[in-house]
Structure 1
Amino acid sequence: MDQYEELIRIKKMLKLNNSDLGSLIGKSGDTFRKAMNRKSLTDHDLKALVKSIASMNLHNNEDERLAIENLLKDIRKKVRKNRSDIVHKILSEEDESKLKDVLRNDPEYRDLFIKDDETKDVPVNQPLEIFQTKNGSQYEELANGKYVLTVPLVPVRAQARYVYEFTDAEYIEGLTKVSFIVDRVGVGVYRAFEIQNDSMDDDSKRSITSGSYVCGRELSKHHWKDKLRINHYNDWIIVHQDTILCKQIIDHDVEKGIITCHSLNTSPEYQDFEINLNEVKQLFNIISVQNMRV
């Protein structure tokens, strides 16, 4: 059974459809179906897809977990073999040896030199692979199964400018970068924002304290016409027409296009308020927080 046949078997086993799997690698259900039929997914897409399935813990028993784990291991073997084959084809034995000496300590090529049974010995903070998404986010795969996601940071001092220049690719590229540990490779636009007040600090574990960095995944505007998934995503970054807010969204009137914003801090100065989505430029659901210790 080849990797595509095994992936189809796992898809049926977990009761997933083409849209479910396609969304994990930024493809529509129909595009994913065609790629599966043609067996034309790239090694990177296959690896990212199975890695995402594994991180979502969708298995119902040990056999299903092992099936996913073994498929991921097979894909990693294939990736390493393909890279090695390319090296053999284009270099003489002497040149190949010299190149390997140069690349051996480069994190981006480390998995080329790791044997199947050595992965467990790689330090958890040592990347197995580094790759860039089409939206500009960088991922480093770690040996513990997680990823380091590096994204542009919008600090407090830059937020007034960001409101007006968030569509300028050159401006975004020039922003400082910051990294977060995440469970899987995501699809979409990611940004980090610095928090500038204590409106989301209620002294609980869910607090987002002043000075913290949060990482958010953008929710495209065409999704705003549907009910926001406010029960699934608790905390949001709202890029308003003249400011940037970090709030919970506790209600969404789809017909009127109005959201109700809520602060965790119960101080009287942080009352709930409404915003018309016509005044909003971007929405990000927060996926990771680096809280500033106080």
Structure 2
Amino acid sequence: ARYGGRTSSIIDVRTNDGNLQETHGTIGVGVLSEKFHLEGPIFKGKTAYSISARGMHTFLFDGIFRAANIPANYYFFDFNGKVTHKFSDKDRLFLNAYYGRDIFYYRDNEGDVIIDGIEDNTEYDDKTYIRWGNLLTSARWNHVFNGRLFSNTTVAFTDYRMRMGYNSTEKNEDTNNLYKFDYGSGIKDLTAKIDFDYTPSPKHIIKFGGEYVRHTYIPETYTTVEKENHYGQVLTDTTYSNNKEKNRVGHELSAYIEDDLTIGKRLTLNPGIHIAMFRTGGR
């Protein structure tokens, strides 16, 4: 019930809290990718950090791929950072940050092509690309009321962006043509929520809480550029864009309660209810 209507798209990711006593690190390097992790105390016994990064360095082999007539390439990178501070045995603060990007592109260029026995010295260069990624920051306060009840209060911000495009040029001594298309969209979420866990017994856990999300939808924006130049004469020079599209804002408010009850060794019940309200554009 705590996930509402998004059960099919939930990934529960748990990050490392960091080591409050000692510094540790690992490095892994492969043929196409690498990873790095480091954790340790900032103030021993009180504050710890944990940072990690991954990446795929196939862009370094771009020249080799082209020589082997492989026009496509893909690479990514991401970064995770976390700071944990222990105020007391009942209160802890967690600060998180994540940034990641994925890039794919396809490029095809050629020149001096023989067509019907006639050499065509026109240079063609076509490139298609897709870039997408996310930025996430959050702060979470964990408070223990007693041995049966604790809470997590979270404030978070996410910013997802996607861009794709196509760029085509055609050049020779008489012609210089360009066609370009660029498309993008995104969504930003500002979230505030509180979750409670109440444990009457080891086999009985009650979870309840509420959440508010302010969605900012960045609608599809695109730009098209078309230029044709033949024998020094401009035949076409057109640019069209809808970048003046306004962002859309939505408000989501929800509350839930669920009961996780274990009966015997073979039966577990998980009843719950989730109530949500969504409002956008005055509706």
The two structures have a TM-score, normalised by structure 1, of 0.24
Kindly indicate which of the two structures has a greater share of residues assigned to strand: 2
Higher-Rg structure is 2
The two structures have a TM-score, normalised by structure 2, of 0.24
Kindly indicate which of the two structures has a greater share of residues assigned to helix: 1
